[in-house]
Structure 1
Amino acid sequence: MKQQSLLFYGGSILTMGEKGDVEAVAVKDGKIIRTGSIDACRTALGSDEVQEINMNGKCLLPGFIDPHVHLMMLGMCNTWIDISYPKVKSIDDLVNELSIHTDKLRDGAIIRGFGFDQRNLKEKRYPTADDLDRVSTEYPIQIMHVSGHSNIVNHYLLNDLGIDVNTEDPEGGVIGRDETGKPNGQLFDSANEFFAKKSGVLIGNHGPNIHMPDTPENLQTLIEVGQKECLAAGVTTINDPQVTKQEMESFNGANNDGTLNMRIVMSFISSYLDELIKLGFCSGFGDEQLSIGSIKFYADGSLNSGTAYLSTNYADSARTKGYLYHQPEEFKEMFVKAHQQGFQTLTHAQGDSAIQLVIDSVKAAQQNSPIDVKEMRHRIEHCGLPDPAQIDVIKELGIWPVPQPQHVYQFGEGVIQQVGKFGENYSPYGWFKEKNIPIVLSSDAPVAPPNPILAIYAAVTRSTLQGNIVGEEHKITLDEALRGYTIEAAKAIHREHIIGSIEEGKLADFAVLAQNPYEVSTEQLKDIDVTETWINGERVFTKESIINN
């Protein structure tokens, strides 16, 4: 059936392109054919049957692009018990919240919760298997840290996973232990691989294993739940930065049966690198809906969980130091191999020492390949606490940092507690701005919700959940923040030719806001509602409900 042509007018239209604000937008066959005056747009549509959409004072923007969303993990965690702060403020709260659900359990069930942050608990420590045994010793219990980099299990599940005093720490991970050396239920980074050993996706020391075994039907439900949350926030395109066979098959299935509305750029986890090279893949395979965009590496762990690889010690971690997933030479060899194959790379690197590993690898890639590293736009995901001296090199090599302003909002004060005053430079947008390094915003959902409006507020204010300001010098302007979630985010995934701005020839992906962000106070920014989301000239979300195509 032929798509109806559209004319948007009657509100603010922020193109994020060269024209700036315009009066109207004309859409035909899912693409933008004209922007400008109402008369010019009507003329461009000619004699077509046109649906004229009066926005009644609302604000039209390009659909938000989030270059770091774990979509199926987002869906998964939204189906688990919410144990996040401020709902859960202590280990007693945690036990009580989980215990509410024990009466509903049947044989074979598991109690799962997501979102705790030890630094926001009254006890300022990680829970243990002993704590979770207070909930149940008859059913398995698993709770995931808000970072996704650690899980805690009770003794029932610890035994079921086959972890005992003789189990060695895996490379790139740690099994928590009590003072006698016995496992205490804490599993950090690559130690999460134990969940997948019986049935599931194995990735070894290539990242924290977030790929919980499940049925194909349930995996489709996870996509549906995650997609619904993204669309409600005006997000029309995501880059999923940790794809395995499980995600690829699930996304492809949703695409084939017509339930995938969003555009997804997939970044395969580095454990697949050799296989992808053997098959001849590189960045760019796929279409406008679903494509292979890059390879994802992990350099270190998480600042929130005390496992990021810093040159300084942690003040609140028994280990005091973080660690790397790979030895430096192994990482460099993989990185160069990916670059030579024509893959853009995304590397999770939070600590300055891990960031240096990426910098050294980009230099090695440039020396060992005719492909220009700047053209590849190799990315550092999070880029949490770089050393100031590294900023010039990041600029020189054309590396794109992709931080998450909501991490500062949620965790900024905890980072300062663990690393000292230097923690105020968490996600140092001010340094990037000073050196003309691209400003890109993202969420890392489900670590933070896929909420561009809240992220924009956080980037502009550097406010924390507790109401304080962290790193005043790293505030950015509203214009920079909006561009960072639209056109600059499109560039970060090499899609600026088709999305990211409201310009002629691009796809008709839009977010409609209740108010123009430029016409409200800074404090009111975070309360602006997304009222509609459009993809390909089709409305896929309204404030009242999701509309299925």
Structure 2
Amino acid sequence: MKRLMLAAAIAVSACAAPSSPDPAAGEGVVIYPAKAVVTMAGEGDTAEAVAVSGDRILSTGTLADLRGALPAAVVDTAFEDNVIVPGLIDPHVHVVLGALQYNLPITPPWPMATPHGMKAGLPTREAFLAALSGIVAEAQPDTPVVAYGYHNLVHGDLTRTDLDMIAPDQPLIVWHYSSHDFYLNSAAIEAAGFTPALAQSFHGIDLDEAGELTGRIYEDAALLVIQAYAGVILAPENVTAGFHGFSSMLRQAGVTTTAEMAYGLFGWEMEDANIRTNWGSAQAAGYHLYLVPEYRALERTFGDGKVQAVLDMVSGERPTPAPVLPRVKFFTDGAFYSQTMRLSPPGYLSGQSKGSEGLWVAGPDGIVPAIQPYWDAGLGVNIHSNGDAAQGATLKALETLREGDGPNNSFVIEHGGLFSPEQVELAGRLDAQLSAASHYVFYMANEYAGPLGDVRAKWISPLGALTVAGVPVAVHSDAPLAPPYPLRAAGVHMTRATREGGVYEAEMALSPYEALEAITLDAARVLGLEAEIGSIEPGKRADFTILGENPLDTKGKDWDAIPVWGVVLDGVKRPLAEQEVSD
């Protein structure tokens, strides 16, 4: 097969102008031999070398065969002691959100990788409150203080009174680890001008029994806090530093492609300015960045012209700071981490959402109307859907959209925190795909067992079962919620390891090949880019990650420690050491 594909590539090149390099003879071609070239074109498909012409893959095979077919090619032995895999992909990050949060004071519930190194976790309520008190003590007097990383299932409930005791007169804002919730003290509420009347317009306004603000402002109301405290949260110098740090983490992990999965959520002008200034281009940054617009931001800005706005972004008629994919991001329910994802009855058994079933965003009646205009235009769908009740509504909507002879669009469930066995089978039958949050099992499975109850807790991120059902499964970081390290993300789903040192529902694990596929070819699929990247095959983009060991020969627990030499991006070698020195 490889010889046939090489012959086809050579036949195409015969039409080139006489002055152009001639790939048929190997002119302008570079051959990279390696300990192994893991193509991901099929399980067990490896090669000795890969031939690259410009920014495209020409062929793979033995070194002898490639040299024989391409006598004028240059043989570059830089990777002869390394393993070449398709460029690693993190298909769901939030570069703007990460830029905002990575440069804030951080109070994480567990050890957290940041651009500044590992930040020690705060495993108790007492440790968290002490750290928060220290942050306030070190802040400039009378200036608002924003800290990121609190988690209620680890740190306990957080009330307005708790925050008033730490900062009685200074505005104090605590950002939940999930990024979906804020907690404000009285001074912050007063300075922002927030009143209980907001609850009439937003469902994310928490009121006590007396009808007063508790200080918790979340989900659709969270943007009010960002707007009120933009001077701190959106400070340009902090965003720039955070963005550069985020980029460094992506490069260190060998990422060649990532996607901002909520473009426009913080406002097009601000996001465009930051991405254009701080990312610049793939060659400048060291990785490809794609953008997927968020449906509520499109509705707010473009109204009835929202579908055409996406099409214009994709075509380039409407300028954007990075390429926009022909896809739209939607939401069914709330967040896994902050216990606002939508559950089946009896809902949450404990935690801050005890007694409730969580939150809808679009909800059962709103999903199809939200998606339909984009669906009819042939655009792909990436839909945040976490709880088991949410999966039921999301899959029912997909069933409706698949009816008849309409478009068979790509439909990707994002995060997929919880499924029932029946929903797993239905997802396979409906040709759904999953881009799974890599970290729910590792960080939160044990903590969530109580709020969910034994039956539902067994089906947190059931990737093994979904794979058996025929659902393509990718994994993502959702950074900054987890570090944008694909090898780590995939490795933990081979082991189903937890941060406490145990193993959670081992039968839901991925095989080594499935795990690598989840950060290469299937990660490309959930972005609609599988024809361009994700495997090492002729005609695809020459994006490779260069590793010190073959992941397929390495235990899952050790994937995080596999050395990364750097990447080949668009056919250009980019050693990690040189990139970090020049950054």
- 1:494 alignment partner AA: G
What is aligned with 1:236? 256
2:174 is the counterpart of 1:147:
no
Match of 2:127 among 74, 90, 93: 93
What is aligned with 1:54? 78
2 CA distance for matches of 1:46 and 1:132? 71
Superposed displacement of residue 304, structure 1: 2.2
Residues 345 and 39 from structure 1, CA distance in 2 versus in 1: closer, same or farther, beyond 3 angstroms?
same
What is aligned with 1:359? 395
- 1:521 alignment partner AA: K
Are the aligned partners of 1:311 and 1:352 in contact in 2 as well (CA < 8 Å)? yes
Residues 156 and 7 from structure 1, CA distance in 2 versus in 1: closer, same or farther, beyond 3 angstroms?
farther
Residues 26 and 320 from structure 1, CA distance in 2 versus in 1: closer, same or farther, beyond 3 angstroms?
same
Superposed displacement of residue 486, structure 1: 0.1
Structure 2 unpaired stretches of 5+:
1-20, 22-26, 111-120
What is aligned with 1:167? 198
2 CA distance for matches of 1:46 and 1:142? 65
What is aligned with 1:348? 384
1:124-523 mapped onto 2 (5 Å cutoff): 125-168=156-199, 170-171=201-202, 173-198=203-228, 213-215=234-236, 219-244=239-264, 245=268, 246-254=270-278, 259-271=284-296, 272-273=298-299, 274=303, 275-279=305-309, 281=311, 285=315, 290-312=323-345, 313-316=347-350, 317-367=353-403, 370-372=406-408, 376-421=409-454, 422-523=456-557
> What number of residue pairs does the alignment pair up?
530
Are the aligned partners of 2:343 and 2:357 in contact in 1 as well (CA < 8 Å)? yes
Are the aligned partners of 2:492 and 2:556 in contact in 1 as well (CA < 8 Å)? no
- 2:49 alignment partner AA: A
SS in 2 for 1:385: coil
Match of 1:531 among 544, 558, 565: 565
Cα deviations across residues 94-120 of structure 1 (Å, max 9, x unaligned)? 232233344553367443222222212
SS in 1 for 2:92: coil
Aligned sequence identity (%): 22
Cα deviations across residues 44-69 of structure 1 (Å, max 9, x unaligned)? 66546x47233353322111111111
Residues 288 and 159 from structure 1, CA distance in 2 versus in 1: closer, same or farther, beyond 3 angstroms?
closer
2 CA distance for matches of 1:288 and 1:440? 26
What is aligned with 2:8? none
Superposed displacement of residue 419, structure 1: 0.6
Are the aligned partners of 1:232 and 1:541 in contact in 2 as well (CA < 8 Å)? no
Superposed displacement of residue 198, structure 1: 4.9
SS in 1 for 2:286: coil
- TM-score w.r.t. structure 2 length? 0.83
SS in 2 for 1:94: helix
Larger radius of gyration: 2
What is aligned with 2:9? none
Cα deviations across residues 403-462 of structure 1 (Å, max 9, x unaligned)? 123221111112212111221210111221221111211111111111112112211111
Q: What's the C-alpha RMSD, in Å, of the aligned pairs?
A: 3.0
2 CA distance for matches of 1:78 and 1:154? 22
1 CA distance for matches of 2:395 and 2:445? 25
Tell which deviates more after alignment, 238-247 or 474-483: 238-247
Tell which deviates more after alignment, 479-488 or 28-37: 28-37
Superposed displacement of residue 500, structure 1: 0.5
SS in 2 for 1:281: helix
Superposed displacement of residue 74, structure 1: 1.9
Are the aligned partners of 1:336 and 1:364 in contact in 2 as well (CA < 8 Å)? no
2 CA distance for matches of 1:288 and 1:500? 23
Structure 1 unpaired stretches of 5+:
201-210
Are the aligned partners of 1:297 and 1:347 in contact in 2 as well (CA < 8 Å)? yes
Tell which deviates more after alignment, 480-489 or 388-397: 388-397
Superposed displacement of residue 306, structure 1: 1.5
2 CA distance for matches of 1:93 and 1:75? 26
Are the aligned partners of 1:407 and 1:448 in contact in 2 as well (CA < 8 Å)? no
Superposed displacement of residue 548, structure 1: 4.8
Superposed displacement of residue 547, structure 1: 5.7
Tell which deviates more after alignment, 75-84 or 362-371: 362-371
